[in-house]
Amino acid sequence: MCGIVGFVGRRNAAPVLLEGLRRLEYRGYDSAGLALLDGGAFTLVRRKGRVAALEDAARGKAGKVGIGHTRWATHGAPSERNAHPHIYGKFAVVHNGIIENYRALKKECEESGETFASDTDSEVIAHLLAKYDEGDFLDSVRHAVAGLRGSYALAILCEGRPDELIAARKGSPLIVGERDGEWYVASDIPALAGKGMKLCPLSDGEIAVLKRGGAAFFDIEGKRIEKEWAEYDTETSAPQLCGYPHFMRKEIDEIPASIAQTAAEFLKKPANQSLCEVLCHTEYVQIVACGTAYHSGLAAKCAIEALARIPAEACIASEYRYRDPVVSKSTLVVAVSQSGETADTLAAARLAKERGAYLIAVANVPHSSLTALADHVIPTAAGTEIGVAATKSYNAQLIALYLLALSLRAAKSGARDVSSSGLASQCERDGEDARLLETLRALPALCGEAIAASRKTKEWARRFCSAKSIYFIGRGCDHAAAVEGSLKLKEISYLPSEGYPAGELKHGTLALIGRDTPVVAVMTDRALAEKTMNSVHEAISRGADAYLVTSLSEYAERKEFAASILVPACERLFSPAVSVIPLQLLAYETALACGNDPDKPRNLAKSVTVE
Ligand code: G6P
């Protein structure tokens, strides 16, 4: 969690750090701070709240070397005293991750008379740096990190070293950047975006020493290592609102382009023989992910089982490694993550690999810890997503996973080439496959129509914002869309909400449904529609107001619904990509009706790099 930026250059560091922090605010926004070195003592500026609050306070502060941080609180409430950087003795430090043994370390320091200024786990790192300080900055860092258990990405300054910054990483991402002889460090690539920026991601256990004259890399033993630099194709500027009131609204409008691009990238990839072999021998698919990405796994499970007839399971990544999962060489594990940095997803993916599974990453950030770990990467091409509540990345994940389902189907039916061209020729041979691929190709247009059809959600939102709780129900693939709709709503409106398989309502949740409780049914599968209607009627009989999102025109006008939205019809297995759109817009409109900022919901962060 949290965002880190550091700078060693010829200009004043504060504007560079603030620009980086603004770009990283999706990482956390409880509080922010920076420390600058200008020859003498540190200049420390910290503020509770957003980066904007820090900007005013940091204006005009001098120092050509600096570190900055935007925080998502884990240890210690959001406050100025808990904001990073933390300073002790000659050292200032910003930290991402969690120091699991901080209590024991802190106790030791306190027993030797040191006092702590914050409630964070991170401050102990500054104390350790002081403890091991014998005049060699790199040695102090090496010894300090050797005593840490848990995960860290660190950027550290030392008083008396006004042109030097040290960065270290274990378990939390950190990237070094260079442009025009100035040096940068950041927790995420978006902070370093821009033309001509060369990037060098640190691996676990590596330390970077950045000085005005150059960068050097070391392992934990202090041995010099050589690293490769690459000029990444990053966006030159941070995404702009372009006239939209919020990024979330803009990102919903970007769904058609995101899925079209994702499909195009998948289909232009050349054949990959080892992947083909793996798909041919896959007997079981496990999809591991968190949050919205997990919900894309629920939809994909239905598609893989129905299309390829291979057992598939969507697994909550934070539970996966504690259940001693059954994994064999014929298990295909698919880790799905927008950021590619979610700690729980990474831990599940590592375990699966250790146990012999082939690992596919479906990731939106191209150079991430997950893509580095995976045997094969299926990129989602949604572009940078700023809204904390994921929207376009979810739809892009669905398309990537549906294409994987089609590849598994092709492999299962004997195709030895399940690359895009292989898939295409397979589809030409098999009429049903051709139809499925065409349906996928039509999805961007259908999503565009669904956005246009969702204008009524503003009216729904006016009623929903005063509800005590809201329920979403669906069967089969519609269940996957329903749970995602519910998650979106609770994330940004703060209204209690649950998504349920429609048939499960009567086994408990019905007890919570009373007069005027909104119940939203998602119904796109004609074969299951009457079954879902039974659940709708059970809810209405208890006083619920029933709302409908459907592609079945004969149900859209039914009088038992308080209101309905008709989305375009598509192949039932792929329908969540379309039917989720009114639900995303409903969440957005309800957040606004509740007076909330949909882009930065309270207590949440976009990239969760702690367990
Ligand atoms: C956080 C975000 C969610 C996201 C989840 C998984 O909780 O707030 O929107 O779905 O992490 O993130 P990932 O980057 O792995 O998709």
CATH number at 457-593: 3.40.50.10490
165, 316, 454 from 231: Cα distances, Å: 22, 35, 41
pLDDT digits (tens, 9 = 90+) for 269-307: 776 788 888 999 999 999 999 999 999 999 999 999 999
Give the pLDDT score at 426. 58
The residue contributing the CA closest to ligand 1 atom 8 is: 606
Per-residue pLDDT, averaged over 367-386, amounts to: 93
Residue 236: pLDDT band (50, 70, 90) is low
Backbone angles phi, psi at 248, to 5 degrees: -60, -40
Q: E strands, 150-238, where?
A: 152-158, 164-170, 175-179, 182-186, 198-201, 206-211, 214-218, 224-225, 230-231
246-250 contacts at long range (C-beta below 8 A, 24 or more positions apart): 246/387, 246/588, 246/597, 246/598, 246/599, 247/385, 247/386, 247/387, 247/599, 248/387, 248/389, 248/391, 248/492, 248/588, 248/598, 248/599, 249/588, 249/598
CATH number at 2-231: 3.60.20.10
Answer yes or no: are the C-beta atoms of 321 and 346 closer than 8 Å.
no
Q: Out of 401, 600, 606, give the residue to mutate to test ligand 1, the one with the largest number of ligand atoms within 8 Å of its CB.
A: 606
Distance 545 CA to ligand 1 centre (A): 31
Does the Cβ of 584 fall within 6 Å of ligand 1? no
pLDDT digits (tens, 9 = 90+) for 565-610: 999 999 999 999 999 999 999 999 999 999 999 999 998 888 777 7
Q: Out of 26, 247, 292, give the residue to mutate to test ligand 1, the one with the largest number of ligand atoms within 8 Å of its CB.
A: 292
392, 454, 487 from 249: Cα distances, Å: 10, 12, 17
Distance 51 CA to ligand 1 centre (A): 21
Give SS3 for 208: strand
The residue contributing the CA closest to ligand 1 atom 15 is: 337
Residue 250: pLDDT band (50, 70, 90) is very high
CA 557 to chain CA mean position, Å: 38
From 314, 285, 253, 301, select the one nearest 452 (Cα to Cα).
253
Distance 401 CA to ligand 1 centre (A): 17
Give the pLDDT score at 417. 59
Enter the tokens of residue 339.
């950021």
Answer yes or no: are the C-beta atoms of 566 and 551 closer than 8 Å.
yes
Give the pLDDT score at 537. 95
Backbone angles phi, psi at 177, to 5 degrees: -130, 150
The residue contributing the CA closest to ligand 1 atom 7 is: 291
Give SS3 for 292: helix
Does the Cβ of 337 fall within 6 Å of ligand 1? yes
DSSP-H helix ranges across 24-165: 51-58, 102-111, 123-131, 137-146
Does the Cβ of 522 fall within 6 Å of ligand 1? no
Distance 166 CA to ligand 1 centre (A): 29
Q: Out of 25, 342, 491, give the residue to mutate to test ligand 1, the one with the largest number of ligand atoms within 8 Å of its CB.
A: 342
Ligand 1 atom having least distance to the Cα of 487: 9
pLDDT digits (tens, 9 = 90+) for 509-531: 889 998 889 999 999 999 999 99
Residue 390: pLDDT band (50, 70, 90) is very high
Give the pLDDT score at 240. 82
Per-residue pLDDT, averaged over 206-227, amounts to: 95
Distance 467 CA to ligand 1 centre (A): 26
Does the Cβ of 316 fall within 6 Å of ligand 1? no
Q: Do domains 247-451 and 457-593 have the same CATH topology?
A: yes
Does the Cβ of 339 fall within 6 Å of ligand 1? yes
Q: Would the pLDDT of 39 be above 70? A: yes
Ligand 1 atom having least distance to the Cα of 365: 14
Q: Out of 26, 29, 339, give the residue to mutate to test ligand 1, the one with the largest number of ligand atoms within 8 Å of its CB.
A: 339
Give the pLDDT score at 607. 78
Distance 551 CA to ligand 1 centre (A): 28
Lowest mean pLDDT across 246-260, 326-340, 406-420, 489-503:
406-420
Residues 6+ away with beta carbon under 8 Å from 472:
482, 483, 485, 486, 489, 497, 498, 499, 500, 519, 520, 521, 522, 583
Does the Cβ of 606 fall within 6 Å of ligand 1? yes
Distance 147 CA to ligand 1 centre (A): 30
Residue 356 carries which DSSP code? Answer: T
Q: Would the pLDDT of 430 be above 70? A: no
Does the Cβ of 488 fall within 6 Å of ligand 1? no
Distance 578 CA to ligand 1 centre (A): 20
The residue contributing the CA closest to ligand 1 atom 1 is: 606
Distance 291 CA to ligand 1 centre (A): 5
C-alpha R_g of the chain: 25
Give me the chain's average pLDDT, please.
92
Per-residue pLDDT, averaged over 544-559, amounts to: 96
Greater model confidence, 23 or 93: 93
List the beta bridge partners of residue 284: 331
Residue 190: pLDDT band (50, 70, 90) is confident
Does the Cβ of 290 fall within 6 Å of ligand 1? yes
Tell me which residues are annotated as active site: 2, 606
From 403, 522, 415, 513, select the one nearest 468 (Cα to Cα).
513
Greatest Cα-to-Cα distance within the chain, rounded to the nearest angstrom: 79
Give the pLDDT score at 213. 85
The residue contributing the CA closest to ligand 1 atom 5 is: 291
Give the pLDDT score at 416. 57
- Give the dihedral sign, CA 87/91/97/100: negative
Does the Cβ of 457 fall within 6 Å of ligand 1? no
Give the pLDDT score at 191. 85
Question: Does the domain at residues 247-451 carry the CATH identifier 3.30.565.10?
Answer: no
Answer yes or no: are the C-beta atoms of 153 and 169 closer than 8 Å.
yes
Q: Would the pLDDT of 420 be above 60? A: no
How many percent of the chain have pLDDT more than 90?
A: 78
Per-residue pLDDT, averaged over 315-331, amounts to: 94
Ligand 1 atom having least distance to the Cα of 345: 15
Give SS3 for 498: strand
Q: Would the pLDDT of 234 be above 90? A: no
Does the Cβ of 486 fall within 6 Å of ligand 1? no
Domain residues of the chain, as ranges?
2-231, 247-451, 457-593
The residue contributing the CA closest to ligand 1 atom 4 is: 291
